[in-house]
Amino acid sequence: MDLRTLFNTATPVIGVVHLLPLPTSPRWGGSLKAVIDRAEQEATALASGGANAIIVENFFDAPFTKDRVDAAVVSAMTLVVQRLKNLVALPIGLNVLRNDAYSGLAIATCTGAQFIRVNVLTGVMATDQGIIEGQAHHLLRYRRELGQDIKILADVMVKHAQPLNTPNLSTAVRDTFERGLADGVILSGWATGHPPSEEDLSIASSAAKGQPLFIGSGASWDNVEQLVPYVDGVIVASSLKRNGQITQPIDPIRVSRFVEAWQRAQHNFQELGDRNGNPSGNLAQESETSRLMLCD
C-alpha cells in the first residue's frame, strides 16, 4: 500500500472521530442530529488542525457485539460518513466495533470512504465480547465482490484482548500480511491510550519487512520523538480531546499542537538520519526499512 497515494503524504496524522452512542446501543440518546453535529464538529476540528485523514468509529456504543452490528448502526454510520465526505476534503476510514468488517466495507463502498480497520482479521482472540475468530477468507472475497479497492488495516494482538492461537508477535505480523492479505498492520498497547513497548515495535518492524505498519494506541505530543524511528504516521484520538479526556470532543488547538510535534519529530529524525549517512532516515534498522503508524 502506498501511503502517499492514500493520504497525500508519506507521514500522515489520522484523527479519530468517536461517534456518540448510535441507535440500539445502551446509551443511545434518541437524537441522530446530535450524533451528526458532534461528528461534523470533530471532523472540522481535525481538518482545521492539520490532520491528513479521519477514521470514524462507533466508539461509544459499548458494550459491543463481537460480530455484526444492528442495521440501525450501519444506517447511522453511513449517514454520518456521507455528511463528513461532503464537509471535509480528507480521506475517511471506518472501524465498526467490535469486529464488523463486512459492514465497514459496505459503508465504505456506498460512501466512497477509502479504508477500514479490522480488529481481528486473522487468528483467534479472547476479548470482553467473547471469542472472536478472524474472517479474512470471507472478508477479502467480499471486497472483491464489491469491486472497490478499499484498504484493510488489521490489528495484531489487538488491545483489550488476548491471543488464543499464537502469542508470537513476529508470526502474527507475518501471518496477517501473508495469509490474511492485509494492506497494513496495526500494533496496539494493552488498552486505549497506552502505546506498545519499544521492544514490540522493533519486533513488529522487523517482521513487516517494509510493508505498512501502524501503532494502535498511545500517541501524544510527549512521546512522538521516541516513536518516530519506528513509524510512518499516526492515528490518534485521546491526545486530541479537550483536556485529554476520552469522553470530550476534539479540540482543534490540541490537534494543531500534536501535528506540529509530529512534523517537528519527523524533521529532527530525518536530519539525524542524514547526518549518520542513512538516507532512509530509519535508524532502528540498518537493512530493510519497516515503519509503523500510530493509532488510538
Mean pLDDT computed over 132-146: 96
DSSP-derived letter for residue 292 is E
Question: Is residue 281 domain-resident?
Answer: no
pLDDT of residue 296: 54
User: What's the CA gap between 221 and 239, in Å, rounded?
Assistant: 8
DSSP letters, 153-222, are EEEES-SSEEESS---HHHHHHHHHHTT--SEEEE--SSTT-PPPHHHHHHHHHHHTTS-EEE-S---TT
Question: Is residue 242 domain-resident?
Answer: yes
Is residue 15 a contact partner of residue 7, using CB atoms and an 8 Å limit? no
C-alpha cell at 235: 492515528
pLDDT of residue 198: 86
DSSP letters, 76-140, are HHHHHHHHHHHH--S-EEEE-TTT-HHHHHHHHHHHT--EEEES-SSSEEEETTEEEE--HHHHH
Question: Is residue 158 domain-resident?
Answer: yes
Question: Is residue 97 domain-resident?
Answer: yes
Percentage of the chain with pLDDT > 90? 66
Domain interval for residue 142? 3-273
Amino acid identity for residue 202 in this structure:
S
Banded pLDDT at 283 (limits 50, 70, 90): very low
Question: Is residue 296 domain-resident?
Answer: no
Counts of helices then strands in the chain (DSSP H, E): 9, 12
Give 186's strand partners. 155, 214
Mean pLDDT computed over 265-289: 61
The yes-or-no verdict on residue 29 having pLDDT over 60 is yes
pTM as predicted: 0.90
pLDDT of residue 294: 56
The yes-or-no verdict on residue 287 having pLDDT over 70 is no
189-207 exposure pattern, b = at least 16 Cβ within 10 A, e = fewer: beebbebbeeebbebbbbb
Determine the 3-state secondary structure of 46 from DSSP: helix
Least confident of 25-29, 46-50, 166-170, 273-277: 273-277
pLDDT of residue 120: 93
- Tell me the pairing of strands 124-127 and 130-133: antiparallel
Least confident of 18-32, 38-52, 114-128, 281-295: 281-295
Mean pLDDT computed over 61-70: 95
User: What's the CA gap between 296 and 291, in Å, rounded?
Assistant: 17
Mean pLDDT computed over 160-171: 81
Q: Which residue has the higher pLDDT, 219 or 178?
A: 178
Question: Is residue 284 domain-resident?
Answer: no
Banded pLDDT at 282 (limits 50, 70, 90): very low
Least confident of 119-128, 254-263, 287-296: 287-296
Residues in the chain: 296
CATH number, residue 107: 3.20.20.70
* Number of domains, the chain: 1
Q: Give the model confidence (pLDDT) of 192-251 as tens digits.
A: 777 888 888 889 888 999 888 887 788 899 998 988 888 777 889 999 999 999 999 999
Question: Is residue 157 domain-resident?
Answer: yes
User: What's the CA gap between 19 and 23, in Å, rounded?
Assistant: 11
The yes-or-no verdict on residue 76 having pLDDT over 70 is yes
Q: Give the model confidence (pLDDT) of 107-131 as tens digits.
A: 999 999 999 999 999 998 888 899 9
User: What's the CA gap between 224 and 207, in Å, rounded?
Assistant: 22
Question: Is residue 140 domain-resident?
Answer: yes
